[in-house]
Chains A and B, each alone.
Chain A
Amino acid sequence: MASLINEAFKKAKNASRPALLTYTVAGDNTKKQSLKILKSISAHADICELGFPHNTPIADGGQIQSSAYRAIKNGIKINDVFAIAKEFKLSKKTIPIILMGYYNMIYQYNEDKFLKKCKNSKIDGLIVVDLPYPENKSFSKKCKKQGINFIQLVSPTTSSIRLKRIIKDSHDMIYYISMLSTTGGKLKVSARKILENYFKIKNQNKSKNVVIGFGITEKTIKSLKKADGLVVGSAICKELSKSIKYRQNAVTNVTNVVRRLKNKIK
């Protein structure tokens, strides 16, 4: 498949490193600022995840919650999220964008309308936190029809039968949740154990790109280098919160974090 997501992984693989995936919340803390951040960090990130903020995020920890509340407070709407992505894609054509969020917002927007808008804004993939397999079957099919990657999540609690089925139903990328935690938790499992689980997934179908997320920071990223890709979210949101608090330049600070993350896995 010639998806941009696949290309991004291939590029990283050719450089013998995992792909770096960043997560930021659209509209955090303003529409303009989040676009600036996105553009700036994409110099170092291979794939950018963009969260559409929800005010009842049941799987997110404190950092991403704060980012989401900030964005909502500043009036971000779903259409703004699409606008940010579209604008980003005008100048960064080859960097894949993955939207990530909760199903209620897609449901209210209407699935078909949402996907049309995704396509129109050149969104490459979607992660829907609270739409697990097999409930996501029909939606994931719709995504595929539109050429949008639906990204399945897998966790340490996923049984082996389930894992097989999920992999079979997955598109180009699978997201492995490193541990039992909300986003931004402290990594409470050893890197060895995480990678052991990771390879259980990877070895089932080597053509799938498997990324690891949750609990990845500047401190821990190096230990998980063997993965196809690594996602950092809360650590980035945290830096943004800090920059706002101390009235520092968020674009510079956040970009520096992403650059350092990248250097650790080169």
Chain B
Amino acid sequence: MEILSNLALGFSIALSPYTLMLAVLGCFIGTIVGALPGLGPSNGVAILIPITFTMGLDATAALVLLTAVYYGAMYGGRISSILLNIPGDEPALMTTLDGYPMAKNGRPGQALVISGFASFWGALFATVMLALVAPALSRVAYQFGPAEYFALYLLAFSTLGGIASNNQAKAAFASCVGLGISVIGLDNFSGLPRMTGGNLHLMDGVDFLVAIVGLFAVSEVFFFIEKHGKGGAVGVKLNKFRVPWGEIWSTRWTQLRCGVVGFIAGVLPGAGASLGSFLTYMMEKNIAGPEGKFGTGVPKGVAAPEAGNNSAAGGALVPMLTLGVPGSGTTAVLLAVLMTLNITPGPTLFTDRPEVVWGLIASLLIANFVLLAMNVPLVRIFVKVLSVPPALLLPGVTMVSFVGIYSLTGGYFDLLLMILFGIMGYVFRKMDIPTVPVILGILLGSNMEDALRRAMVLSDGEWTYLFSSPIAIGLWIFAVAGFIAPVYFRNKIRKPQAVTD
């Protein structure tokens, strides 16, 4: 068994009391960074680059620390999603949809534990797949050209109609807002600015972190100000907390499916973990149908996106390691770290530097187990957040958001933009316009447009090029099915509770 000897090699490099300590430290920092709105995994990893240098860590130790932060942040993102309805980072966006209702029902602990296990499973599955088939899987990227990517993004948007909203026009409008914002910035094809109003700050477009923090965190603060701290999950009476083994077991198939789908989404260099959590949530929602009561706080609704995004986070390492293509911003930072350690990812990495690859895989496994061990007992502490008086908690969240966004460019412009998004989020939520599609539009819009325009450049404007491969056609079929399924269900059910309460 070659794989076992490889793994043994990996663990012999990565497992020592010292590295274990680093793993715990990394997981801890990662969890905090992930949970704080505005600071995402890429922040955490970026923060550690200088630390690695100043501490003089060797390549292995640095890898262990960094992967621990990477996975830690993926775990941590869900915490603020569930407790505060504020996604800690963008892959945790979908976790708000069922996680927050669960917290409001007095079951935040259960939501955290179920999502923690789902995260564990997703990450574990992805790591194992990474170990088993990464070199082979790297070929998948060669099958995806502009037409295939366009169909993939279309699939993501086609299921938007299924987002909990009572009014399709409003959901569609929200997507248009997001897509419209994604257009802002330097146009990739003409090299000229679009919709920037000549503002230099808008040349790179609107960072979706600014949007996510504004729409969720700042608008949440406005709600608390309006209601003087009443309503919401803060201060909710907590049910007695026991580890909900039964509920975890009941989501086993969901976790399994979402692990697989998330991993595939992650392997495709595109939107990475966010796309993973989005596709898995919508898939499970459609599978569960109207009886699944997605959006009202069901265990499957928190298990699906968390298994999906953690699996995607692992999957994103496949193209990063084997091709040097960073699937997401986070992996881009990780790639940078590898390069500063003089490790150049690419097709020959697995054969040239087995000790790096297997050391990395071993550290991912270590980090994952450390995180599970840390997360379950800590749930009792996390839920204490909800006992903090709103007059302290919400200003705290605001300040954290400001610092996080301020660290993007160190200027006031993004902060003003964030406040603007906060007002927008407040008005939208009042008017029952869902905010999730706005974020998705910003996140995926430019990718989708670029893919379409690349395809048209290559085909000289011939539209049939979009359906020219089996993969593209398959994705189109799923997209159409995903669009129709919620409409079909809608006739049979009462509307789910809106997320925008």
A pairs with B: no
A positions within 8 Å CB-CB of B:
none
